[in-house]
Amino acid sequence: MLALITGASSGIGAEFAKILAHCGCSLILVARRLDRLEELAADILERYDVDISVIDCDLSDDKNCYRLYQTVKDENVDILINNAGFGAYGEFTKTDLEKETRMIDLNCKTVHILTKLFLKDMVKKDSGYILNVASSAGLISGGPYMAAYYATKAYVVSLTRAVNEELSERGSNVYLGALCPGPVDTEFNDVAGVSFGLSGISAKECAIDGVFGMFDERKTIIVPTLKMKLLTYFNKFLPQKPLMKIIGKLQKTKGDL
Ligand SMILES: NC(=O)c1ccc[n+]([C@@H]2O[C@H](COP(=O)([O-])OP(=O)(O)OC[C@H]3O[C@@H](n4cnc5c(N)ncnc54)[C@H](OP(=O)(O)O)[C@@H]3O)[C@@H](O)[C@H]2O)c1
């Protein structure tokens, strides 16, 4: 099988690459930092007999998303991991608008475009897997001081759930799901501008849960760890106003506001 992973140059994406190579998948690794992709590819090739190509590409520009699809479409991608994404921390009136619109482009528009383009081909073949890396933030009603980030991930969860239902109504064998982790120890906090993040699970643990949830359990929404499963479940029953206050207080502890 051939897997395309966006945001493979670090964190959860790099771990997906290692695990899928371990499962025997060939890989197309995409991100902006070519040196990091090449380093990862060399490391994987030392251990596994798979084919790997690397593509450096800024996916926050939609033209590059279409270009990426055109470049790989004849290679028959079996697995798409829409993982590239980042966060932005701060009070909504003070956070940088340009950074936020780039985030919305990458976290929502890119996931939307790539899901649609690859899903059409997979539906024709009636096989394939698409895993959108959302976040537990997307299962919670809102995130004061990371307002736009939470909203982008809610978009991914909502889109994935709805399209998944369309697939299941037509009896499709194509898998579409969303991975919704809580905190994961990666470069995410540095990029988001969070100085004291809550300690999280490892990127490897997160990616293993993602691969297991996709291949073995075929879950629509995959939430790693029991703690996050409980938290996102009980979120539905809590009154929203006090809940926003609690989340806002927790978010404030993550940085200097
Ligand atoms: N860490 C967490 O606590 C956490 C929790 C829940 C969900 N998530 C989600 O998990 C996903 C992976 O994040 P991570 O935690 O592994 O963080 P990370 O280590 O910062 O990885 C982010 C990846 O996205 C790539 N990327 C960023 N901007 C890009 C762009 N414009 N074009 C192409 N690639 C781009 C980065 O590569 P380049 O910089 O080389 O382009 C990098 O490979 C994200 O969608 C994030 O929202 C993270």
pLDDT at 3 over 70: yes
Which letter does DSSP use for residue 123 in this model? H
Report pLDDT for 18. 98
Instruction: Give the domain range for residue 152.
Output: 2-252
C-alpha 115 chain-centroid distance: 12
Q: What confidence tens digit (pLDDT) does each residue in 131-166 have?
A: 999 999 999 989 999 999 999 999 999 999 999 999
Q: Which of 89, 149, 155, 175 is catalytic?
A: 149
Which residue, judged by its Cα, is nearest atom 7 of ligand 1? 135
Residue 158 inside a domain? The answer is: yes
From the CA of 84, how far away is ligand 1's center (Å)?
A: 4
Residue 161 inside a domain? The answer is: yes
149 in catalytic set: yes
Residue 257 inside a domain? The answer is: no
C-alpha 102 chain-centroid distance: 16
Which letter does DSSP use for residue 181 in this model? -
Residue 60 inside a domain? The answer is: yes
Residue located via tokens 């991100």 = 31
Mean pLDDT, range 88-112, rounded to an integer: 97
Q: How far is 204 from 14, CA to CA, in rounded Å?
A: 9
Mean pLDDT, range 83-95, rounded to an integer: 97
Mean pLDDT, range 87-98, rounded to an integer: 97
pLDDT at 255 over 90: no
Which residue, judged by its Cα, is nearest atom 1 of ligand 1? 184
From the CA of 31, how far away is ligand 1's center (Å)?
A: 9
Q: How far is 86 from 49, CA to CA, in rounded Å?
A: 32
Average pLDDT of the chain? 96
Q: Yes or no: say if 30 and 57 are a contact pair by the CB < 8 Å rule.
A: yes
Q: What percent of the chain has pLDDT over 90?
A: 93
Q: What is the CATH number of the domain that holds 84?
A: 3.40.50.720
Report pLDDT for 196. 66
Residue 19 inside a domain? The answer is: yes
Lining residues, ligand 1, CB within 6 Å: 6-13, 31-33, 36, 58-60, 83-87, 106, 133, 135, 181, 183-184, 186-188, 191, 200, 203
- Using DSSP, state whether 187 is helix, strand or coil: coil
Residue 248 inside a domain? The answer is: yes
Q: How confident is the model at residue 197 (pLDDT cuts 50, 70, 90)?
A: low
Q: What confidence tens digit (pLDDT) does each residue in 201-239 have?
A: 999 999 999 999 999 999 999 999 999 999 999 988 999
From the CA of 242, how far away is ligand 1's center (Å)?
A: 30
Report pLDDT for 204. 98
Total domains present in the chain: 1
Report pLDDT for 169. 97
Ligand 1 atom nearest the C-alpha of 84 is 24
Report pLDDT for 254. 87
Start-end of H helices in the chain: 11-22, 34-47, 62-72, 97-104, 111-125, 147-169, 188-192, 203-215, 226-234, 240-252
Q: What confidence tens digit (pLDDT) does each residue in 30-85 have?
A: 999 999 999 999 999 999 999 999 999 999 999 999 999 999 999 999 999 999 99
From the CA of 164, how far away is ligand 1's center (Å)?
A: 24
